[in-house]
Structure 1
Amino acid sequence: MLVAAALCPCPPLLVPEIAAGAAPELASARAACAEAVGALAASRPDRLVVVGPGRSGVLETYPAGTRGSFRGFGVELEVRLGEGPEAGGGRTLPYGLAVGAWLLARVDRCASPVEGVAVGQETPGARCRAAGRELRESSDRVAMLVLGDGSACRTLKAPGYLDARAEPFDADVARALAAADTGALGALDEELARTLRVSGRGPWQVLAGAAEGASLGGALLYEGAPYGVGYLVASWS
């Protein structure tokens, strides 16, 4: 059963070593993520699943101990998913799960078994929701750290340029996260999300499946678009 969830954006710029001089611009988002992940750890799950954007159109799992690296962003910084011996069969975490591992490493109360699930952008919503339902049945107390960004088309200088549909899309997601509305998340327009370069669509829909019938309450902790990309932080419990 799903008992809690933390929803965070996953730009590598959340990591201060990568952001360098721009680190203060995401200070509020970083603090909100720390609050959400802290609440997640306090829920005392017996299984913690980190869900984030993947590299392909399929769902991929990563065991505890899988390493991630931020070398591709110009920083000699490595992370590991949870505790325990190195694992992963030589695979490394995709960037979203690496950000999730970094967030978890900053919380000293999280001793639950951890695993990762990466969701490719082309993964259908129905498959995402089904995966969420499977995950919630895997243990008595499941918690999820869900990583993903909103639209990358909020301003002229955004990665996807300006699209008038971007801000309303992100506003709808923000309302759904604040209300823990699984129906609204499950019904997100997949084609529009792809056009707006929304990396969180798949992970959010995995959460939608996992949280069906769980009667969780939601709180929106942060909403902004400092680089023309929608960043949202929420806590469900």
Structure 2
Amino acid sequence: MLAVVVFVPSAPLLVPELAGPAAFDTEPVRAAVDDVVGDGRAAGADRWILVGASDDPATGVVQESGSGGFGRFGVDVRVRLHDGTGPRMSLSALIGAWLRERGGLDPMEPLIVGRDTAPGDCATLGAGLGQGLRDCADRVGLLVVGDGSYALTPKSPGGERRESAVALNDAIVAAVGDADTRTLAALDPQACAAEGVAGRVAWQVAAAAVEQAGRPVVAKTRYADAPFGVGYIAATWTLDDRS
């Protein structure tokens, strides 16, 4: 059964070797990610599924290599999920694999979804995942990797602070904080693309899986900020075993 959902950002600077010793701004988000991974581990998951979005335009489930590295982000820290081969790992898969090793989230299998997948198709994928987990004897955790808007500060990757991006990011943070699966399911692909939201498809798949589980959820947000102009969220949804 589905036991817990852990939300983390897809930030390369979480990896200390990439951030460097002078990058003090990374410490709070890295600590929060370590905390939510610990919270997820405490939920007693027997295995993990990594839910993330592809880097390149695609729809549906995307097959990627089972191992790779962060070389394109400055330092080739190597990570591994499985023995499979394919195109290079997306950033969400790299972060998930790094957290698997760092946080002891093992075994872990990937579910990488094309970043252009429509909300209805994300819902179908998530519902199928949730139904499968309802019939599963194992306790399963979802590690959901994705970022919010990228135009939240004057020097953000989106070029400037946009109030439309801030409003959208605030709505996403509130939805994750309230375990509001309906708001996440209703995120508009065009608005998310315009504001640089990279986590939409992963959040929509996870939301549908939790809806399918049909059990009460306790939500806890440990971090929601934009230290580099991008919305980062570290949170957990723990599902009630008694229902």
What TM-score results when the alignment is normalised by the length of structure 2? 0.88
**Letter aligned with residue 154 of structure 1:** L
Secondary structure at 1:79's aligned position in 2?
strand
Equivalent pair of 2:62/2:113 in contact (CA under 8 Å): no
- Alignment partner of 2:144 out of 140, 143, 146: 146
Secondary structure at 1:89's aligned position in 2?
coil
Secondary structure at 1:180's aligned position in 2?
coil
> What is the alpha-carbon root mean square deviation over aligned residues?
1.8
Partner of 2:32: 32
For the residues of structure 1 that align with 2:194 and 2:86, how far apart are their CA atoms?
Answer: 33
Give the number of equivalent residue pairs: 230
Partner of 1:229: 230
For the residues of structure 2 that align with 1:159 and 1:232, how far apart are their CA atoms?
Answer: 17
**Letter aligned with residue 148 of structure 1:** G
Secondary structure at 2:24's aligned position in 1?
helix
Partner of 1:59: 60
Partner of 1:131: 125
Q: Percent identity at matched positions?
A: 37
Equivalent pair of 1:2/1:214 in contact (CA under 8 Å): no
Cα-to-partner distance string for 1:85-119 (whole Å, 9 max, x where unaligned): x51224432111101111121123x34x3111122
For the residues of structure 2 that align with 1:20 and 1:193, how far apart are their CA atoms?
Answer: 31
Partner of 1:95: 91
Cα-to-partner distance string for 1:159-179 (whole Å, 9 max, x where unaligned): 112321111111111111111
Gaps of 5+ in 2: 239-243
Distance 1:62 1:138, change over 3 A: farther
Residue 104 (structure 1) aligned with residue 100 (structure 2)? yes
The CA deviation at 1:41 is: 2.1
The CA deviation at 1:40 is: 1.6
Distance 1:152 1:22, change over 3 A: farther
The CA deviation at 1:23 is: 3.0
Partner of 2:9: 9
What TM-score results when the alignment is normalised by the length of structure 1? 0.90
Cα-to-partner distance string for 1:24-82 (whole Å, 9 max, x where unaligned): 2111111111111122222233441101120332233558x91021011121210012x
